[in-house]
Amino acid sequence: MTLGPRPTALITGATRGIGRAIALDLGQTHRVILGGRDQAALDALAAELPDAATWAADVATGDLDGLLPLIDGGLDVLVHSAGVLGGTAVADTPVDEWRRVFEINVFAVAEITRIALPALRASQGTVILINSGSGFVSGPRGSVYAASKFALRALADALRDEERANGVRVSSVHPGRTDTDMQHELVEAQGGSYDESLYLHADDIARAVRLVVDLPHGAVAETVSVRPLGR
């Protein structure tokens, strides 16, 4: 029996946390394009996978050169996992910080998707946006990050209906608090104590993404919310 070529998945933010877990999981069945800023970290991750290419880019600058040649052979799955924390109380957050967070969490997602859409339409592929519990609710000192995630959810909802006729599936995956470097940074900034047992693991979110990807093409998991059982 001759197996056909592997489908291709592009994962941004692939070298850390949730993005890395997704890359390691999808990399078992897909050719993966690993997106991130650190070429050495990308190369190290690619060495762990059967079929991987790297795309080193700082999406905050809007410089996305090199993406089109990588997806020229086709693209089946696009996972947006790159993201940043930022901001504090509204009264204390300058506009440049709002711009920085939105540049990475929203604007880069929109532009990468725009560039990738012709390939995704050709394959009737899947777009997965890694959002957050903060994409549903905000709180004190969390307005900047939550606003970017609310905007990301709006982007996903619009894109889903725009691309439905083209056969492109669009899913938002909303992890609850997950044991990652970003979560450690958040708890430290808030002056709290860290109890690993109360958090999801990055592999839990990778499994949720796998569920979305492996659904029959006639079905789409539009919104997937994953929360730790203990909180």
C-alpha distances in angstroms, 151 versus 11, 52, 108, 195, 220? Answer: 20, 31, 12, 30, 21
List 175's β-bridge partners, or say none.
226
Q: Would you tell me which CATH number, out of the four given (3.40.50.700, 3.40.640.10, 3.40.50.720, 3.30.70.270), belongs to the domain 8-226?
A: 3.40.50.720
pLDDT for 4: 63
> In 181-212, which positions are buried (b, 16+ CB within 10 angstroms) versus exposed (e)?
ebbeebeeeeeeeeeeeebbebebbbebbeeb
Mean residue pLDDT across the chain: 93
Give the residue, 64 or 1, on which the prediction is more confident.
Answer: 64
Identified catalytic residue from 46, 87, 142, 145: 145
Q: Is 199 a catalytic residue?
A: no
Choose between 117 and 185: higher pLDDT: 117
Q: How confident is the model at residue 61 (pLDDT cuts 50, 70, 90)?
A: confident
DSSP structural state of residue 77: E
- Give pLDDT tens digits for 35-46: 999 999 999 999
Low-confidence winner among 4-18, 185-199, 205-219 (lowest mean pLDDT):
185-199
> Which residues partner with 225 through β-bridges?
174
Task: Return the pLDDT at 221.
Answer: 98
> Confidence band (pLDDT; 50, 70, 90) for 185?
low
pLDDT for res 199? 86
Rounded mean pLDDT of 112-125? 98
Distances (CA, A) of 131 to 105, 124, 205: 9, 22, 11
Per residue in 89-101, pLDDT tens? 999 999 999 999 9
What are the φ/ψ torsions at residue 48 (nearest 5 degrees)? Answer: -85, -5
Name the token pair of 182: 């970003």
pLDDT (tens digit, 9 = 90+) per residue, 189-209?
555 665 676 789 999 999 999
Give residue 2's pLDDT band: very low, low, confident or very high (50, 70, 90).
very low
pLDDT for res 27: 98
